Structure 1
Amino acid sequence: MHNLNDFLTLIEGFLGGSKWFPILLIGTGLFYTIYLKFPQFRFFKHALKVVTGKYDKPGEKGDASHFQALTTALSGTVGTGNIAGVALAIYLGGPAALFWMLVTAFLGMTTKFVEVTLSHKYRETDEKGFISGGPMYYMKNKLNMRWLAGIFAVMTIFSSFGTGSLPQINSISNSMFTTFGFNKMLVGGILTVLLAFVILGGIKRIAKVTERLVPTMAIIYFVGALAVIFYNYENIIPSFVSIFTNVFTGTAAVGGFLGAGFSYALTKGVNRGLFSNEAGQGSAPIAHAAARTEEPVSEGMVAILEPFIDTIVICTLTGLVILSSGVWTEKLPNQFQPTDMVVMANQYDDTNEEDREKLYHYLGGTSDLPVFTGDLIVVNGEIKNELSIINARSVAENIKIYDSQDKLYNGKVAISNGKYSSNNGVTFKGNSLVHSAPLTAEAFTRSLLGDWGKWIVSIGLLLFAFSTAIAWAYYGGRSVTYLFGVKGVLPYRIIYCIGFFIASFADTTIIWTISGITIVLMALPNLIGILMLHKDMKSTLNTYWDKFKKEHPSEV
């Protein structure tokens, strides 16, 4: 498990954790924002009118309304990224990471406008009469680059697991276990059956489910988040300030948080921003292609609203909940995951400036510190060796070791290069920083809601993440259709459900690392493709406005 995680982390470091990918993603959005003269401002009001169906015409080709296409796409984006992803970004990069998430969203409004317009323009109808669209179709039909379209389709299938299946159910099961003590495998089994029932019904059943789920879960989460923020009203302004003050300098150590540099905040913020709103990844165009309209630009207008709702509104709320509550710097009781934990050879005190500096560089990968190899001597659950354990990027405290019966352990625990195998039947528990869904859940308790706050996160996450898994099954199915025809969809959906179940009890750190890899591999061909079609995009937009002015002169 450790070797697998180390290998995946190495790959992710060259992709999502690199400096070149944020530059490409942000650069593409910035180029189109300037090239199309800030469409996220100019067309926002028009987009609201389009999504309400004001300009719909009877008899237009498509499988879903503008609103259904928007909610289906939102169900694919509003999910774990908004609850667990924001928490992970702040945990890794500090408040400045939220700033880069917002930058990614602002520029992503333009990127999504472009990718949806182009994908809708070059959509096709499959052999069963359903609409098939997405970046692979503009790559094939306009760029004449079938090889690039094939790569994108394959990467979409992988990303349907890395974005839509694995992290969603993993976050749900972790949240349900933390809040209610529900068995992770049981949660995974029940939701897998429900998932199979929905996705086997195709896009029309998916659209009907998502148009009800998305607004409901958004309202519940919105009210709960405001309750926490206003309860901690004295921290609202300092929280806002912290997002912007350390953007280019990084975040200093505070509490159990050992600090994060500019580069770390940038890469983690951009990566989590992309995971949240998927602008540039090429996924949402697959859902929007099914919209009933003959005007590709009108559906692109609808897509402008997605990053705004998903990241600028919902992710900002989550970020303010975490920052205003202060839990992101607190060491909380939790059960350590093997991949989050390192047994150091020496003792470290995070209240000591020199030790904190050493650990900061160690966690940032810029220096090495000796790790422990040998046996831990454990008596009544307490480690007798003089050493420190780093868990979740913090110095762990009040550590206890338990056996397979959840009783205090007595004996030895073998450690190799700072790591232990979860197969030896013991678990480590103690106080450390936490991340992902458990961090957000804890933040929601810091209000008049108390422990009821965890219920909002758990139920909200259940609805958010489950709807995301539904939408991504559709995205993956469309890619399978492109590559293998309709006959390949059923086997794909079966494998998708199996992966969904297994991830419910898999290691969280590995799941998120896989996610980071697949997101980048899917986004790369899409970003390259839309940059190559910049002239096509501009002429399509100009044609749309010329036609719109003739049909609706009073609106101009």
Structure 2
Amino acid sequence: MKGIDQRINEMFQPVVDALSQILFWDPIKALGIDIGAAAPIVVLWLIVGGLFFTIRMKFINIRAFGHGVALASGRYRSKQSQGEVSPFQALTTALSATVGLGNIAGVAIAISLGGPGATIWMIMAGFLGMSLKFTECTLGVKYRVIDEKGKVSGGPMYYLRKGLEGKGRKQLGIFLAILFAILVIGASFGGGNMLQVNQAFAQLQYVVPQMEGYGAVFGLVVAFLVGLVVVGGIKGIARVTSKLVPIMAIIYIVTSMYIIGVHFSELGAIFKLIFRSAFGLEAIGGGFFGALFVGFQRGAFSNEAGIGSSPIAHAAAQTTEPVSEGMVALLEPFVDTMVVCTMTALGIVSTGLYVNPDGLEGAQLTAAAFGSILPWFPYILVLCIFLFAFSTMISWSYYGLKGFNFLFAKPLTRLTGKSRMSDLVYYFFFLASIVVGASSSLTAVIDFSDMMILGMAFPNIIGLMYLAPEVSLDMKQYLHKLKLQQSSQQ
């Protein structure tokens, strides 16, 4: 069985190498300018998008934070609202896809490549990402489609096609919707699947070295468990994630707070180190840009703001107000990146293992850092990572399925006469990808995952910019209505 892992990786790596030349193209370097760090075009695009929507929506990430919390708690919920899941379940489904290995492995990768200063830029990615999440999830609900059985379909595929058609850009909308659907399928196989099982197995192998070479076996077991959940659809996924997310988040956050607390007296020096590294005061040029681009890349990968994945989950929320669901959604980057990622980063930096003397990869570096204070923590992290990975995979299976059905549901139904054939075909490839991910190297998996997930930002943000004026108008009308409602209650 051990030879299977090597053969799968040898087949997968060349595909990744060929694709990476496109999405990781560096326009700054192409102009002959050397800034001492890579500046992938996809990361530049996300930075521009985050800044644009934060300003365009007049800092809705700050203004609507408190109201978003109230909405998520069910305070404004209406029994007449259409949808399949509650706003809280939609939030936890989306969070289960974002609060995951990006917070554990992704943060470790960011710090090992960009230094401690990458922490600041991850936080900034989360802050700007809140406005992006608001915009895209508002549109996800506004343009969702509900069939006669009450089944909801939504996300960028729908608001890109229908929204841009309303702006007189029908052909552009169709092209962007198809491109997004292709990328979300690839992302569900990559970052939403392969990376998750890869790092879950890597951590298991870290604490049980005898497991080395048995990635395919581990992948088969996980594929079976994931398969048991995903056949239940969004309602089954939401039931599982609404229970898993709070539990795993509490376990991980409490442990992280303990690690930080042990080094409480050193926090001043730790923050000084992070700021010096973030702004290149220790290494002018490469230090600043390296921390910035790596921090934003890993931050965006972690919270998925602007990527277009979360609107697919939030489209199923029981609400009559698209803007209100957007305000619930903007909490995700705050929880995911500004809280959980920051705790991981502080834990790694405070232990001094950010220099990574043993050349550890991803989650293993986090395990080593935390394990230097709590020797038993790597074993707890095995459980945390498995729960993070499992919840992320089942959420991303829903995202990828929606993209697959958008492209192939009708043709496959006409061809076979079976309405669920599209679901079965997708699930076969999704579950097979789990085995590939568990058997491949982290380098191949992380590159493929970045290409697919971050690539989704291109068609999504283009569409969001076209549709920004109507989101802004809807936001103003909602806030005015809310103000009148609050005044009448006083």
- Structure 1 length-normalised TM: 0.77
Q: Deviations over 1:41-79 (max 9, x none)?
A: 111111111001111111211000011000000001001
Within a 5 Å distance, the mapping from 1:73-92 to structure 2 comes to 73-92=94-113
Q: Deviations over 1:428-476 (max 9, x none)?
A: xxxxx212010000011122x22x1112222111111110111000000
> Given residue 512 of structure 1, which amino acid in structure 2 is its aligned partner?
I
* Pairing 1:301–2:327 present: yes
Aligned residues between the structures: 449
* Pairing 1:442–2:442 present: no
Q: Aligned residue for 1:491?
A: 425
Once the 2 structures are TM-superposed, how far is the Cα of residue 241 of structure 1 from its aligned partner?
Answer: 1.8
Q: Aligned residue for 1:171?
A: 199
Q: Which has the higher contact order (CA 8 A, sep 6+)?
A: 2
Specify whether residues 44 and 34 from structure 1 end up closer, same or farther in structure 2 by C-alpha distance, changes over 3 A only: same
Within a 5 Å distance, the mapping from 1:403-442 to structure 2 comes to 433-442=359-368
Q: Is the 8 A contact 1:441 1:457 kept in 2?
A: yes
The structure with the greater share of residues assigned to strand is 1
Give distance in 2, aligned partners of 1:555 and 1:154: 48
Within a 5 Å distance, the mapping from 1:455-470 to structure 2 comes to 455-470=379-394
Q: 1:531 aligns with which of 435, 443, 465?
A: 465
Give distance in 2, aligned partners of 1:5 and 1:483: 24
Q: Aligned residue for 2:34?
A: none
The percent identity for this pair of structures is: 43
Within a 5 Å distance, the mapping from 1:235-250 to structure 2 comes to 235-249=266-280
In terms of mean alpha carbon deviation, does 37-46 or 21-30 score higher?
Answer: 21-30
* Pairing 1:473–2:397 present: yes
> Given residue 177 of structure 1, which amino acid in structure 2 is its aligned partner?
Q
> Given residue 39 of structure 1, which amino acid in structure 2 is its aligned partner?
I
SS of the residue 1:434 aligns to: coil
Give distance in 1, aligned partners of 2:238 and 2:189: 20
Specify whether residues 215 and 311 from structure 1 end up closer, same or farther in structure 2 by C-alpha distance, changes over 3 A only: same
Q: 1:120 aligns with which of 120, 129, 141?
A: 141
Q: Is the 8 A contact 1:15 1:21 kept in 2?
A: no
Once the 2 structures are TM-superposed, how far is the Cα of residue 95 of structure 1 from its aligned partner?
Answer: 1.2
Once the 2 structures are TM-superposed, how far is the Cα of residue 3 of structure 1 from its aligned partner?
Answer: 5.2
Give distance in 2, aligned partners of 1:118 and 1:250: 41
In terms of mean alpha carbon deviation, does 485-494 or 144-153 score higher?
Answer: 485-494
> How much is the aligned-residue C-alpha RMSD, in angstroms?
2.1
> Given residue 378 of structure 2, which amino acid in structure 1 is its aligned partner?
K
Specify whether residues 32 and 3 from structure 1 end up closer, same or farther in structure 2 by C-alpha distance, changes over 3 A only: closer
Give distance in 2, aligned partners of 1:73 and 1:234: 36
Give distance in 1, aligned partners of 2:388 and 2:135: 26
* Pairing 1:513–2:442 present: no
Q: Is the 8 A contact 1:63 1:291 kept in 2?
A: yes
Q: Aligned residue for 1:409?
A: none
Q: 1:64 aligns with which of 82, 85, 102?
A: 85
Q: Aligned residue for 2:345?
A: 319
SS of the residue 2:164 aligns to: coil
Once the 2 structures are TM-superposed, how far is the Cα of residue 271 of structure 1 from its aligned partner?
Answer: 1.1
> Given residue 446 of structure 1, which amino acid in structure 2 is its aligned partner?
S
Gaps of 5+ in 2: 1-9, 28-37, 166-172, 410-419
Specify whether residues 463 and 155 from structure 1 end up closer, same or farther in structure 2 by C-alpha distance, changes over 3 A only: same
Give distance in 1, aligned partners of 2:393 and 2:369: 25
Once the 2 structures are TM-superposed, how far is the Cα of residue 260 of structure 1 from its aligned partner?
Answer: 5.4
Once the 2 structures are TM-superposed, how far is the Cα of residue 279 of structure 1 from its aligned partner?
Answer: 0.3
Asked which structure has the greater CA Rg, the reply is: 1
SS of the residue 2:403 aligns to: helix
Q: Is the 8 A contact 1:281 1:520 kept in 2?
A: yes
Gaps of 5+ in 1: 254-258, 333-432
Once the 2 structures are TM-superposed, how far is the Cα of residue 234 of structure 1 from its aligned partner?
Answer: 3.9
Q: Aligned residue for 2:241?
A: 210
> Given residue 502 of structure 1, which amino acid in structure 2 is its aligned partner?
V
Q: Aligned residue for 2:35?
A: none
Q: Is the 8 A contact 1:15 1:517 kept in 2?
A: no
Within a 5 Å distance, the mapping from 1:155-194 to structure 2 comes to 155-181=183-209, 182=211, 183-194=214-225
Once the 2 structures are TM-superposed, how far is the Cα of residue 546 of structure 1 from its aligned partner?
Answer: 2.8
Q: Deviations over 1:1-40 (max 9, x none)?
A: 4755654553453179535433321222222222222111
Specify whether residues 490 and 127 from structure 1 end up closer, same or farther in structure 2 by C-alpha distance, changes over 3 A only: farther
Specify whether residues 223 and 484 from structure 1 end up closer, same or farther in structure 2 by C-alpha distance, changes over 3 A only: same
> Given residue 13 of structure 1, which amino acid in structure 2 is its aligned partner?
F
Specify whether residues 15 and 552 from structure 1 end up closer, same or farther in structure 2 by C-alpha distance, changes over 3 A only: farther
Give distance in 2, aligned partners of 1:251 and 1:184: 40
Give distance in 2, aligned partners of 1:546 and 1:5: 49
Q: 1:289 aligns with which of 315, 318, 330?
A: 315
The structure with the greater share of residues assigned to helix is 2
Q: Is the 8 A contact 1:444 1:457 kept in 2?
A: no
Give distance in 2, aligned partners of 1:47 and 1:484: 36
> Given residue 56 of structure 2, which amino acid in structure 1 is its aligned partner?
Y
Once the 2 structures are TM-superposed, how far is the Cα of residue 251 of structure 1 from its aligned partner?
Answer: 5.5
Q: Is the 8 A contact 2:23 2:455 kept in 1?
A: no
Q: 2:44 aligns with which of 13, 23, 26?
A: 23
Q: Deviations over 1:464-510 (max 9, x none)?
A: 11101110000001111211225412210111000012211211111
- Structure 2 length-normalised TM: 0.87
Give distance in 2, aligned partners of 1:64 and 1:319: 33
> Given residue 535 of structure 1, which amino acid in structure 2 is its aligned partner?
P
Q: 2:71 aligns with which of 27, 46, 50?
A: 50
